[in-house]
Amino acid sequence: MNISRQQQSVLEALAEFRYLTIPQMVEMNISKNADSLRNHTLNRLINSHRKAIKYHDFGWIPQRGRLARVYYLTHYGAEILAEAWRMETERIEYPKGGIQFSSDYTHRMNFIDFHISFKRWAEKEKKDVDFFYSYFDKVGSQRAGNVRSTAKTRVMLNRTVYTNQENKPFIPDGLTKYQDGNKPRLVAIEIHNGTHSKRITHQLLDHLEAIQQGLFNEKFNHDTANFVLSVHENQSTLDSVKRRLRERPEFQSFLPLFLFNKQAQVNANFPKSWTLADGTKTALFP
């Protein structure tokens, strides 16, 4: 299959981000025109004899209207990229089981928006990114119902501070490692939708436990404690979570490692407005 430069850009983007909507592709400057992207570039990849990409239509949601279609790479699309990049098809990641999520739509798209914004910042600041893993990146078979498939971000907590539950699986939304000058930075990412501040606080306390136990350091051969980026949909929830964490005595020693921001701000200008739980501006993104 002969493809254009723009069509190859679509395949490359899907290999990196796994799932994308047309608005996200436009945001990435794959095309400046959504209609042209849909009717020409994407349609040819979809309607070829062997589909290079597919999409899933999530339909309508009350008070939100029609959700954007989500596109993803197929095995044939991975073969095209493998030939272009001169590598084995097995090295190219794509959702082998297709789209197997429904209720996770908003959270997953928000996470991908974060990834896009992070990548834009890293490229602008010339940061070398060693890896960027998401909770939907899998190790093992990705076929539905296969228990051998596990998230790349998964670790096992020995206990949790709020339940004392032993050997609890813990899967952060994302993990990335990049070079900040001569310092390697390991960063965990959580995208928080909704207003359940107590649940979010418990989730971040799990991160505290993971840092105490050195789980991500060991998993990724990293010498220093990782940071945690906590990204919120609602300002009131963000403020409540910060307050709850400040009230926990065990959190005080870890305060410099937890950074907070709004989703809208991160999407608009990634490095701006990150603060610690006490309101102090962080030096991680000056």
In a domain, 127, yes or no: yes
As a whole number, mean pLDDT of residues 70-97 equals: 94
Distance of CA 141 to the CA centre of its chain: 20
Single pTM value for the model? 0.93
Of the candidates 99, 117, 134, which is a domain's last residue?
99
pLDDT at residue 145, rounded to an integer:
45
In a domain, 26, yes or no: yes
As a whole number, mean pLDDT of residues 102-128 equals: 95
Residues 83 and 141 in one domain: no
Give me the residue label for tokens 């796994």.
Answer: 18
Of the candidates 48, 65, 99, which is a domain's last residue?
99
Residues 249 and 159 in one domain: yes
Confidence of residue 274 (pLDDT cuts 50, 70, 90): very high
In a domain, 279, yes or no: no
In a domain, 277, yes or no: no
We report the CATH number of the domain holding residue 76 as 1.10.10.10
- Give the total number of structural domains in the chain: 2
Helices (H), the chain: 5-17, 22-27, 34-36, 43-47, 75-85, 105-124, 197-212, 215-220, 235-246, 263-268
Residues 81 and 151 in one domain: no
- Is the CB of residue 55 less than 8 Å from the CB of residue 37? no
Given a cut of 80, whether residue 182 has pLDDT beyond it is yes
pLDDT at residue 61, rounded to an integer:
77
Residues 193 and 123 in one domain: yes
Give me the residue label for tokens 């307050």.
Answer: 243
Given a cut of 60, whether residue 11 has pLDDT beyond it is yes
- Return mean pLDDT, the chain: 92
Residues 117 and 92 in one domain: no
In a domain, 274, yes or no: no
Cα separation, 160 vs 142, whole angstroms: 29
Q: Which residue has the higher pLDDT, 145 or 12?
A: 12
- Is the CB of residue 117 less than 8 Å from the CB of residue 110? no
| Segment 197-230, tens digit of pLDDT | 999 999 999 999 999 999 999 999 999 999 999 9
| Segment 128-165, tens digit of pLDDT | 999 999 999 988 754 544 446 789 999 999 876 656 66
- Is the CB of residue 226 less than 8 Å from the CB of residue 257? yes
Cα separation, 146 vs 192, whole angstroms: 28
Residues 139 and 236 in one domain: yes
Residues 176 and 87 in one domain: no
Range in 23-32, 83-92, 136-145 with the lowest mean pLDDT: 136-145
Range in 89-93, 109-113, 163-167 with the lowest mean pLDDT: 163-167
In a domain, 256, yes or no: yes
Residues 88 and 209 in one domain: no
pLDDT at residue 139, rounded to an integer:
84
Give the domain range for residue 257: 107-268
Residues 84 and 120 in one domain: no
As a whole number, mean pLDDT of residues 261-268 equals: 97
Residues 125 and 241 in one domain: yes
Of the candidates 99, 119, 138, which is a domain's last residue?
99
